[in-house]
């Protein structure tokens, strides 16, 4: 069998095992073979698309001759049967005759064989390879390199998580070390490796790993590690050289640098939520009107244990308390993501209260010694800074669920609220521990954390199949995978639906279960069913008015349907619960653009940091700049982004650049960007935005028939936004076209109906 290795060192052998040096030195022919073997999805390729990739500067006749010659050489070198055709115009490879490391890597990732995937990946795709005069091929190559880097990095992280979850710290450390070699500038992986080596007692190895990473940053990127990474290595060095820790008066027992088990984690979380019936150590202080606390922020709890590697347990405390208190209808509770920036802050409760617009804050710290856990909790009036209530809870590991009810009632008493609390979501401590691991990942909404969350949630429902909250979150996590990160993963769509329905059967009144079903109905898989999805989100909010993500998703449906006033109400409700929700902040800017308030919309977009979602931020800022006629700024922004992110998920920035080229009269360049955007956008949940941009390009170029085709694609693909379509100046050249007039009449009638029915 022919063997073709492109990941790392380039290597090609024929069916007899002989190295094929001739092809390795002919760049265009090698590039053609690489593209046919590695491009995704695996398919036949039209001759005209190959001509545009490899010989864009030749006329049709000479380009076709060059392609014929290249295919002739490939067949002559590798065998006549390797290159296959379908009809006269389509070309592919017979993969049964060729083994390719890229194909093997992708297949291993798809099958969940992550160790095998890492074995395939020896370095970047076609590292150092270049052919001149083939810009489209170079862009494809950069996109594929980025895709494969992301996949191998995610696989390595997932393996580390799996080994950690199984308690095999040694294997986790070995995998993390290997992962850092594959991605030497990935700071999260380096922190993971340092932490794992520290847990194993290999302090010297942990310090050496950090030093190697820091040196690489200085040499390669002329920068230095983040403050978080520096703090971690400082803690490791101090434990390596310092005398045994003497505990302050707020600590207890003997410092224990050894690791915590998952059951200890469970009790720590319970300690905050659960203990202390009668306020023995810290009663409600008189005279400070706790009944005025109608909005609350649970600040990140501080880990006072001697081993800093388990700080996530303190975060788990924050998450668990936020979730429990958030179910109280009379209390507005700030979402977890908006309080995390205050971790380790020196700001006063009054300053935090003003920033988050809340009446009160809960703060506390956690410490474990032996088989006992201590949690100190304080409720503070954010207006005055007075402590309204405080208590200390200390229990053994085995008393988790007994304590939970007692402590939660104590906190509610401190708030002068009725003691109406839901029962524990599961009686299985290990399942709940896995669920909390997942919850701390899900709110970040990125591909890596979503994948890890799915692993934890699958573990939770395996331990307790009747754990409805875990089933609901599993449905959401799989939906996120299918909608945002892996649109080709049909198994994820199926699993999302099964988990959501299972959650609803187990707990018909669980807000998160209705939310998970709403996400499914409002996704590509659910064919953007707005009515049923809205009903599910509204039911979720009836059950839990503090479920910020339900407000946001409800607002997003209204935004796409053009119901702008309703959308604004939901985004403002989101931000009242989750002030740092960048998605809601951005979407308020979108409403302003839809209304023609371009300057205000641009200011709104720029309130959000670019790194929160780089593709959407760059697309939306460039979009606003183009409406304001600031073409140079828009062009510079998009070029910088596309150089750094050639994959351009969904093609939104590439298609926005096509609008700029159309405005400049560069029809050929605009057409090239349209082709690229279509290829990038396949299966992307927000492809309707790319489709609308393409319609705008054709409208600007005075091609109404093509513009209308893509405008219908945008509307039918989930974005029938009549107010925007009716106002957008980019469509002005086709407004008198009869097809456009008829289309807009239908769209307006639908919009008017939905104002009454949705």
**Using one digit for the tens of pLDDT, what is the confidence trace for 40-79?**
877 888 888 888 888 887 888 888 898 988 898 888 888 8
State the number of CA atoms in the 13 A half-sphere of 7 facing the CB.
Answer: 26
Give the three-state DSSP class for 758: coil
Query: Is residue 280 very low, low, confident or very high in pLDDT (cuts 50, 70, 90)?
Result: very low
Among residues of the chain, what percentage have pLDDT more than 90?
36
Contacts of 33 (CB under 8 A, 6+ apart): 4, 12, 23, 74
pLDDT of residue 174: 84
**Using one digit for the tens of pLDDT, what is the confidence trace for 406-427?**
666 777 777 877 767 677 788 8
Residue written as token pair 């590292």: 127
CB atoms within 10 A of CB 34: 23
Q: In what order do the strands lie in the sheet with 45-46?
A: 45-46, 90-93, 83-86
| CATH numeric code, 2-147 | 1.10.10.10
pLDDT of residue 491: 82
Integer-rounded Cα Rg, in Å, for the chain is 28
Q: Of 306-310, 419-423, 513-517, 553-557, which gets the smallest average pLDDT?
A: 306-310
pLDDT of residue 307: 57
Give the three-state DSSP class for 390: strand
| CATH numeric code, 429-545 | 1.25.40.10
For 335, the token pair is 């979402």
The DSSP secondary structure of 319-366, one letter per residue, reads HHHHHHHHT-TT-EE--HHHHGGGTT----HHHHHHHHT-SEEEEEEE
pLDDT of residue 15: 84
**Using one digit for the tens of pLDDT, what is the confidence trace for 693-705?**
999 999 999 999 9
Enumerate the β-bridge partners of residue 380.
361, 387
Query: Is residue 403 very low, low, confident or very high in pLDDT (cuts 50, 70, 90)?
Result: low
* DSSP classification of residue 744: H
Give the three-state DSSP class for 265: helix
Strand blocks (E) in 555-626: none
Dihedral over alpha carbons 553, 556, 560, 566 (to 10 degrees): 110
Enumerate the H helices of 4-98 as residue ranges: 21-24, 27-38, 47-54, 60-78
**Using one digit for the tens of pLDDT, what is the confidence trace for 643-689?**
988 889 889 999 999 999 999 999 999 999 999 999 888 767 778 99
The pairing of strands 387-396 and 372-381 is: antiparallel
pLDDT over 70 (residue 397): no
d(CA 690, CA 651): 6
| Nearest alpha carbon to residue 393 among 421, 357, 367 | 367
Backbone angles phi, psi at 558, to 5 degrees: -60, -40
pLDDT of residue 507: 95
Among residues of the chain, what percentage have pLDDT more than 70?
88
**Using one digit for the tens of pLDDT, what is the confidence trace for 302-352?**
878 765 545 666 677 778 888 888 888 888 999 988 998 888 788 898 999
Write down the mean pLDDT value for the chain: 83
**Helix (H) or strand (E) run with residue 136 in it:** helix 135-165
CATH number for 262-414 (one of 3.40.50.10610, 2.40.30.10, 3.30.70.20, 3.30.2080.10): it is 3.40.50.10610
Contacts of 482 (CB under 8 A, 6+ apart): 489, 490, 492, 493, 496, 523, 524, 525
Task: Tell how far CA 230 is from the center of its chain.
Answer: 25
Enumerate the H helices of 464-529 as residue ranges: 468-480, 490-506, 511-521
**Using one digit for the tens of pLDDT, what is the confidence trace for 219-243?**
767 778 887 788 788 877 765 443 2
Cβ proximity of 724 and 697 under 8 Å: no
């Amino acid at each position: 069998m022919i063997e073709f290795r492109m990941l790392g060192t380039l290597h090609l052998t024929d069916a007899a095992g002989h190295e094929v040096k001739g092809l390795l030195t002919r760049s265009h022919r090698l590039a053609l073979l690489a593209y046919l073997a590695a491009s995704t999805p695996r398919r036949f390729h039209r001759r005209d698309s190959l001509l545009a990739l490899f010989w864009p500067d030749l006329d049709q006749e000479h380009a076709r001759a060059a392609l014929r010659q290249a295919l002739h050489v490939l067949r002559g070198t590798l065998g006549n049967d390797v290159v296959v055709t379908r009809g006269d115009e389509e070309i592919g490879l017979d993969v049964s005759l060729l083994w390719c490391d890229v194909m093997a890597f992708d297949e291993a990732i798809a099958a969940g064989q992550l160790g095998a995937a890492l074995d395939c990946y020896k370095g970047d795709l076609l590292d150092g390879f270049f052919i001149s005069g083939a810009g489209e091929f170079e862009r494809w190559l950069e996109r594929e390199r980025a895709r494969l880097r992301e996949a191998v990095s995610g696989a390595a992280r997932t393996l580390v998580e799996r080994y950690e979850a199984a308690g095999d710290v040694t294997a986790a450390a070995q995998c993390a070390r290997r992962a850092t070699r594959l991605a030497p500038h990935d700071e999260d992986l380096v922190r993971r490796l340092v932490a794992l080596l520290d847990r194993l007692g290999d302090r010297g190895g942990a310090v050496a790993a950090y030093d190697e990473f820091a040196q690489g940053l200085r040499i390669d990127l002329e920068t230095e590690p983040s403050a978080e990474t520096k703090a971690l290595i400082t803690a490791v060095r101090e434990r390596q050289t310092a005398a045994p820790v003497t505990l302050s008066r707020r600590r207890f027992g003997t410092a224990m640098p050894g690791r915590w088990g998952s059951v200890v984690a469970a009790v720590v979380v319970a300690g905050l939520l659960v203990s202390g019936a009668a306020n023995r150590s810290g009663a409600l202080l008189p005279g400070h009107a706790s009944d005025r606390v109608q909005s609350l922020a649970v600040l990140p709890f501080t880990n006072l244990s001697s081993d800093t590697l388990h700080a996530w347990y303190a975060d788990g405390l924050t998450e668990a308390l936020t979730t429990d208190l958030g179910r109280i209808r009379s209390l507005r509770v700030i979402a977890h993501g908006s309080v995390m920036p205050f971790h380790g802050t020196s700001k006063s409760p009054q300053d935090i209260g003003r920033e988050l617009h809340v009446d009160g804050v809960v703060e506390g710290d956690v410490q474990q010694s032996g088989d006992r856990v201590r949690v100190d909790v304080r409720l503070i009036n954010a207006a005055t800074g007075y402590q309204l209530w405080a208590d200390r809870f200390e229990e053994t590991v085995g008393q988790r669920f007994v304590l939970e009810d007692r402590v939660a009632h104590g906190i509610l008493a401190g708030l002068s609220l009725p003691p109406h609390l839901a029962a524990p979501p599961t009686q299985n401590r290990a399942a709940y521990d896995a669920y909390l691991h997942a919850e701390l990942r899900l709110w970040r909404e990125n591909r890596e954390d979503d994948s890890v969350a799915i692993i934890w949630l699958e573990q939770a429902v395996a331990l307790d199949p009747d754990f409805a909250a875990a089933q609901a979150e599993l449905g959401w996590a799989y939906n996120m995978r299918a909608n945002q990160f892996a649109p080709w993963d049909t198994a994820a769509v199926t699993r999302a639906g099964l988990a959501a329905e299972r959650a609803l059967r187990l707990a018909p009144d669980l807000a998160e279960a209705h939310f998970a079903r709403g996400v499914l109905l409002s996704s590509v898989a659910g064919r953007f069913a707005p009515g049923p999805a809205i009903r599910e989100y509204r039911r979720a909010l009836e059950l839990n008015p503090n479920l910020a993500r339900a407000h946001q998703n409800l607002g997003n449906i209204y935004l796409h349907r053009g119901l702008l006033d309703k959308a604004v109400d939901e985004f403002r409700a989101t931000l009242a619960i989750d002030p740092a929700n960048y998605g809601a902040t951005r979407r308020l800017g979108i409403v302003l653009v839809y209304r023609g308030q371009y300057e205000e919309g641009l200011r709104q977009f720029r309130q959000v940091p670019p790194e929160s979602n780089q593709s959407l931020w760059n697309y939306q800022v460039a979009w606003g700049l183009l409406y304001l006629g600031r073409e140079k700024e828009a062009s510079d922004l998009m070029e910088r982004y596309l150089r750094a992110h050639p994959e351009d998920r969904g093609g939104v920035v590439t298609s926005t650049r096509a609008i700029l080229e159309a405005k400049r009269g560069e029809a050929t360049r605009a057409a090239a960007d349209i082709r690229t955007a279509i290829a990038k956008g396949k299966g992307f949940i927000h492809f309707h935005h790319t489709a609308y941009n393409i319609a705008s390009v054709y409208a600007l170029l005075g091609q109404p028939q093509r513009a209308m085709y893509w405008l219908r694609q945008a509307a039918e693909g989930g974005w029938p936004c009549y107010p925007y379509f009716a106002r957008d100046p980019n469509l002005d050249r086709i407004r008198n076209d009869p097809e456009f007039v008829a289309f807009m009449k239908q769209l307006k009638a639908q919009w008017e109906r939905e104002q009454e029915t949705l």
